[in-house]
Structure 1
Amino acid sequence: MRFNQILRVNLSRNNLIAKQQYVPKHNPVLEEDIKRLQEFLMSKPNIVVLTGAGISTESGIPDYRSEGVGLYARTNHKPIQHMEFLRSADVRQRYWARNFVGWPSFSATVPNHTHYAVARFEREARIQAVVTQNVDRLHTKAGSKNVVELHGSGYVVKCLTCDYRIDRHEFQDILNSLNPEFRDAPDMVRPDGDVEIPVEYIKNFRIPPCPECGGNVKPEIVFFGDNVPRQRVDHVTEMIYNSDGLLVLGSSLLVFSGYRMVLQTKDLNLPLAIVNIGETRADRLADLKLSAKCGDVLPKLFNFKN
């Protein structure tokens, strides 16, 4: 094997190991459980899929709560709070400095087998739509068309005062021009695109005001403590009402915006299936629960091979 081939193999292996470090410990999935989930989907062709951070860990984006590997377990990091962002210029400066440093890695993240499987199921009319709690846009990258980003997206920046919006890539160019000294800052990506960087990198970070009204800007993400827009909630409610049931992938359902979908599903006497490593808030309500890694399950359904 030539040197370049060996190098590519080693880089690929190292990349896989890096991505798997955020996946919690789990048991192998049983073939009979995969068959049960396949039967669930075959008997209910109009399913809504709800996805959480657990499906993106295999792409190298850590979640918050997983035992041993989530950000709460590995660091003292607490996610950005909506009211703190609104009230404090220092908080906004710290958030944007971290987001700026983490953006190249975060935006370069690629979908994994689960994202591609979900997109394929949509094309084959096995599912109705995807509602995701993630802001990483990996479902769209994988080819899913009918996607509702429940908590918004890290790929859009908006003004808090007026209707101004800008693509996050374009905003990165603006931040680059204002903060050239940040190019060598360390990088540790988080689920919301945030990172951990030293204080000395933060105190002089410059954030441009809205060019139209001079207001403050933020990613179009529903931060902790904020509410999902009413119109989006109503849209998801209508989707559940017109569905044959709900499939939850990679979510502990501890955040109410997702758990609310489960409650509505059961209020309508519709079936609920869950695939997640470890317990979830809705295990007692599930008609089918697989305690497994999504990447071990979804690609094997309907003989799918990516």
Structure 2
Amino acid sequence: MDARLIDKTVELLLEAAHVIILTGAGISTESGVPDFRSPGGIWERYDPTMFFIERFLADPEEVWRCMLDMHRSKEFSLWDARPNMGHHTLAYLEEVGIIRTVITQNIDNLHQKAGSKNVIEFHGNMLCARCMKCRRKYGYEQVLSDLETRLPPRCECGGILKPDAVFFGEAIPQDALKRSFQEAEDCDLMLVIGTSAQVEPAASLPLIAKGMNSLFRGLGGIPLPKARCSVVEINREPTPLTGRVSDFLIQGSAGEILSLIEKKIRSRKE
């Protein structure tokens, strides 16, 4: 990793007025949570169609049986995963007023476990379930208990529970979409952490932050100019944003890089 770029990021964080964070699977793999697409990821071990809404609607019992198998095998360790240094640094930066919002594509609840308060879950939260009939929400402890006695788990109203994550074929929750796009419009610094920036519509958020592509700005398809915004990537590999959208990439472990940033900011605040 480049120490000069870490120092530059510290300065940007301390100078910016509206900082937001966009995180992807790369920040959580360091907590033992496997991603979906990489070699050895979830798609190589489980049938990807289990995460299609059509499959769930056709056979919720089969999909829940797969979820239970993941939990018992410890291969998909969302339930037992703990936040790492990266998650804790972001919670600290929010606590001291440096960052406003974390927008996450992850479904693992680790930002909240670390203490982050203002989290927009772009793809929902796999540690909760929601009744498809009355929309009541249940925590994972309740769901796991129910799974031991019946499949699929059910609400008190009799409705079937569905994991509260966005399945393929489902729309991004409108509130999360609207809030995320507005945050991207308003920010003057965005850190993009641990994401390949290939899954839409989340991949468009850095472009919106830069004023390059906006659903809210301008009329007749002609965007209005936006005040300067910096976009900094923290990732193990370059992405489609690198050299085209982001100002620079700090290449390496998200947890290690963020912990160095936190250490430098703490020393400046003492």
TM-score > 0.5, shorter chain as reference = yes
The alpha carbon displacement at 1:109 in A equals 1.1
Note the 1:286-301 alignment, pairs <5 A.
286-301=246-261
SS at match of 2:5: helix
Tell me the equivalent position of 1:144.
116
**Separation of aligned partners in 2, 1:270 and 1:32:** 20
Segment of structure 1 superposing worse, 261-270 or 98-107? 98-107
- Residue 102 to residue 51, structure 1, CA distance change in 2 (3 Å): farther
Note the 1:184-223 alignment, pairs <5 A.
206-212=151-157, 214-223=158-167
SS at match of 1:86: helix
Please provide the CA RMSD for this pair: 2.3
The structure 1 residue matched to 2:185, chosen from 241, 246, 252, is 241
TM-score by length of 1: 0.73
Give 2:59's aligned amino acid. Answer: S
- Residue 263 to residue 36, structure 1, CA distance change in 2 (3 Å): same
Q: Does 1:262 align with 2:262?
A: no
For the Cα contact (< 8 Å) 2:68–2:147, is it kept in 1?
no
Note the 1:121-132 alignment, pairs <5 A.
121-132=93-104
**Separation of aligned partners in 2, 1:92 and 1:75:** 14
SS at match of 2:100: strand
Give 2:251's aligned amino acid. Answer: S
For the Cα contact (< 8 Å) 1:100–1:172, is it kept in 2?
no
**Separation of aligned partners in 1, 2:28 and 2:132:** 28
SS at match of 1:256: coil
- Residue 69 to residue 102, structure 1, CA distance change in 2 (3 Å): closer
Tell me the equivalent position of 2:53.
82
Tell me the equivalent position of 1:279.
238
For the Cα contact (< 8 Å) 2:71–2:77, is it kept in 1?
no
Q: Does 1:172 align with 2:131?
A: no
For structure 2, list consecutive stretches of 5 or more residues without a partner in the other structure. Answer: 212-225
**Separation of aligned partners in 1, 2:16 and 2:99:** 8
Q: 1:130-174: per-residue Cα shift (whole Å, max 9, x none)?
A: 111111111111111111111111221111222222211112112
TM-score by length of 2: 0.82
For structure 1, list consecutive stretches of 5 or more residues without a partner in the other structure. Answer: 1-28, 179-205
Tell me the equivalent position of 2:23.
51
Tell me the equivalent position of 1:8.
none
For the Cα contact (< 8 Å) 1:276–1:293, is it kept in 2?
yes
SS at match of 1:127: coil
SS at match of 1:285: coil
Aligned pair count reads 247
**Separation of aligned partners in 1, 2:161 and 2:42:** 26
Tell me the equivalent position of 2:69.
98
- Residue 39 to residue 229, structure 1, CA distance change in 2 (3 Å): same
The alpha carbon displacement at 1:56 in A equals 0.6
**Separation of aligned partners in 2, 1:89 and 1:77:** 14
The alpha carbon displacement at 1:53 in A equals 0.7
SS at match of 2:172: coil
**Separation of aligned partners in 2, 1:290 and 1:77:** 34
